[in-house]
Amino acid sequence: SPREVWRWAALGALAGVGWWTNGLIVAYVLSIGILLLAGIARTRPPLRSLIVPILAAGAAFFAGSAPWWAFNFAHDFAALRFYLPGGTPDQFAGGDVPSLDLTGRLVGLFLLGLPAVLGLRYPWSPAYFTPDLLTLALACLTLAITLAAVFMLIRRGGAWNPRRRGALPADARALLLIALGFFALLFILSRFSTDPTGRYFLPLTITLVILISAFAVSLPAPWMRAGVIAILLIYQSAGLIGAVRQTPPGVTTQFNLETHLPNDDDRLLIDFLQANGLTRGYTNYWVAYRLAFLSGETLQYRAALPYKADLSYTPRDDRYPPYVAAVSAAQANGERLAYVTANVVEVRGWLEGWFDSQGVTYAYAPVGMYHVYYDFAPRVPVPPEQFTALVLDQEQ
């Protein structure tokens, strides 16, 4: 209703914050926008009554998404171009990832992304979760239930027996269908398709929960309704328990175990660095921002070192200018700096060899799984931006 201005403002604010934090929310924002326009066309309220609610929604949207707009106005709308087939400029995160052809994008959507949302595979592994015949059967049933729910949504509004419980309301059915369609289209056309991990499919979970729930409650027999819920709960629980018991890595966000860094030794490292006045220095992408967050930014390290065994590195890891400036200022002022790396033997070996080639001595301290190099003499080694060049020169 146009008279409920606060609802319009709340919708705009939520859409704005969502737009800033996860761009795939556009699939839902557009879906709701289309339904609102359809409702306005159907009820035909006086245009004057729409001015205030539309302005409230628009103002709240721009307020919620203000950081997104501030970045884009300063960087030629790089984030907006991420949604287009051409992609974002190379100097920003994700810009260096090669684009996929249509086949690769469809594989990412249907064989990697959607199975991760349904629990058919762990997001950090390409393998499906079917360790035995029982879980294989449960996985097949989970997939069958989902496909049946989608089919019923298209054919009967999400209900097996519309006369018994009633199909989903027309608006709800339209919202789900449009959202699913927009999501698939946006994923295939944009740069999101280059990284079909579970994180980008999180917006689908609510849609699928509503979809499958509507299907389950519409089934004609109580045992059928209970069976659908039981199958899903048992399979999802088995997957979660299996992930927790799988050591390493347990539950992780990483595809590569080299970048899986448990939190067990984080406090030890923070205490060591703070106790020794090593608040600035150089480390890798997976350590730098963790240290900053957990220490309340008392530790500011540049993400300037490689973290893979092949020593590959992209300068895009070192993406936060305030930390770059803080470390550069500390080095210019002659403050104590540290190099911190984790548990990759190849990185440690190359780093120590590089220190020797620079003619410097240093103190070394193992701190749990971390390795800290500090108290360099006669000088702190050259800035890490030259580190990559040295690695590349050596490989060539």
| pLDDT exceeds 70 at position 68 | yes
For residue 296, what are the contacts with CB-CB under 8 A and spacing of at least 6?
Answer: none
Give the pLDDT confidence score for residue 395 in this predicted structure: 42
User: Are the beta carbons of 50 and 94 closer than 8 angstroms?
Assistant: no
Q: Indicate the DSSP class of residue 221.
A: S
**CB contact at 8 A, 254 and 227:** no
Dump pLDDT digits (tens) for 82-116. 776 655 555 565 555 667 788 888 888 898 888 98
Going from N- to C-terminal start, the domains of the chain cover 1-74, 98-255, 259-395
Integer Cα distance of 345 and 354 in angstroms: 14
Tokens of 121: 């595979």
Stated pTM of the model: 0.73
Looking at residue 322, its pLDDT comes to: 94
Mean pLDDT of all residues in 321-348 = 92
Highest-scoring range by mean pLDDT, 58-72, 232-246, 381-395:
58-72
Q: State the Cα–Cα distance between residues 25 and 390, nearest whole angstrom.
A: 42
State the Cα angle at 328 between 325 and 332, rounded to 5°. 135
Give the pLDDT band (50/70/90) at residue 393. Answer: very low
> Which of the given ranges, 130-139, 164-173, 214-223, 356-365, has the highest pLDDT on average?
356-365
Which one, of 12, 28, 4, 22, lies nearest residue 172 by Cα?
28
CA-based torsion, 100, 104, 110, 113: positive or negative: negative
Neighbours of 105 (CB within 10 A): 19
Residue 362 belongs to what H/E stretch?
strand 361-367
CB 252 within 8 A of CB 131: no
Mean pLDDT calculated for residue range 125-150: 89
> Taking residues 270-283, what's their average pLDDT?
96
CA dihedral 195, 197, 203, 204 (to 10 degrees): 110
Summarised one tens digit per residue, pLDDT across range 304-313 is 999 988 888 8
- Would you say residue 79 has pLDDT above 90? no
As a whole number, mean pLDDT of residues 321-342 equals 93
Better-scored residue on pLDDT, 129 or 279:
279
